[in-house]
Homo-oligomer: A and B are copies of this chain.
Amino acid sequence: MDKLNSQSTELQIMDVAEQLFLEKGFAMTSTTEIAKQVGCNQALVHYYYRSKEKLFLLIFRKKIETFANYFVTVGDESMSFEHRLKLRMYAHFEMFQNNPKMPFMILNELTTNPRRLQTVKEIFSKAPGLVVSQLEAELKVEFDKGRIRKMSAVDVMLSAFSLNAGLFLLLPIIKGLSVLPDNEIKNMIEKRKEENYQIILRSLRE
């Protein structure tokens, strides 16, 4: 193995682990495989991170926090409702673009291992219904102006989330079934960013 790697072994382990956990999930990834891919002894994984679980939680927490942080993006009071909606939708989408495998990892771990919901609860406890009630208020203002139909913030968020996450969840399958040539995929993703915003916007129109 080339030991010319600039990074410390400790960080390399973390990086490789992140890749593998994202790709195949906690259960399907072994510390042996991580070590092999780093090119070091398997004991080193435990030397630095004690246990597979602890190493995983480090990475998982980071992802959840990235995810949670997105929610603070609010936009400016002066902007139109449409503009603010667009900003949010784009920010959400771009977070997934930068972490395309995050949605699957989070979904996978929370579904197969419900115990992990606790971790999420803790991290989200800070800003829980705050975002929802914020959006709720904005929707009410627009509704009172007669600009949009009556719709709950939870519903809007659920739709937006499904559309954005859905694309990235399906991406490996789309690629695998080679429905689209590789070079057009990037294209398609970029188009879906605007499309998803449009869908949410139109779904609100009276």
> Which residue of B has the minimal Cβ distance to A27?
B27
Count class of interface residues, chain A = 35 or more
User: Is the CB of A199 closer than 8 A to any CB of chain B?
Assistant: yes
User: Is the CB of A159 closer than 8 A to any CB of chain B?
Assistant: yes
Which chain B positions have C-beta within 8 A of A163? 159, 162-163, 166
Q: B107, A169: Cβ atoms under 8 Å?
A: yes
User: Is the CB of A155 closer than 8 A to any CB of chain B?
Assistant: yes
Which chain B positions have C-beta within 8 A of A114? 172, 176
User: Is the CB of A165 closer than 8 A to any CB of chain B?
Assistant: yes
> Which residue of B has the minimal Cβ distance to A196?
B159
Minimum CB–CB distance from A204 to chain B (whole Å) comes to: 8
> Which residue of B has the minimal Cβ distance to A110?
B173
Which chain B positions have C-beta within 8 A of A199? 159, 199, 202-203
Q: Which of B161, B170, B203 contacts A158 (CB 8 A)?
A: B170
Known: A158-B170, A167-B162. A176 touches B117 (CB 8 A): yes
User: Is the CB of A9 closer than 8 A to any CB of chain B?
Assistant: no
User: Is the CB of A42 closer than 8 A to any CB of chain B?
Assistant: no
- In the assembly, what is the distance between CA of A192 and CA of B23, in Å? 31
Q: A198, B203: Cβ atoms under 8 Å?
A: yes
User: Is the CB of A31 closer than 8 A to any CB of chain B?
Assistant: no
Q: Interface readout for A174-201 with B: 1 if CB under 8 Å, 0 if not?
A: 0011010000000000001001101100
Q: Interface readout for A129-171 with B: 1 if CB under 8 Å, 0 if not?
A: 0000000000000000000000000110011011101110110
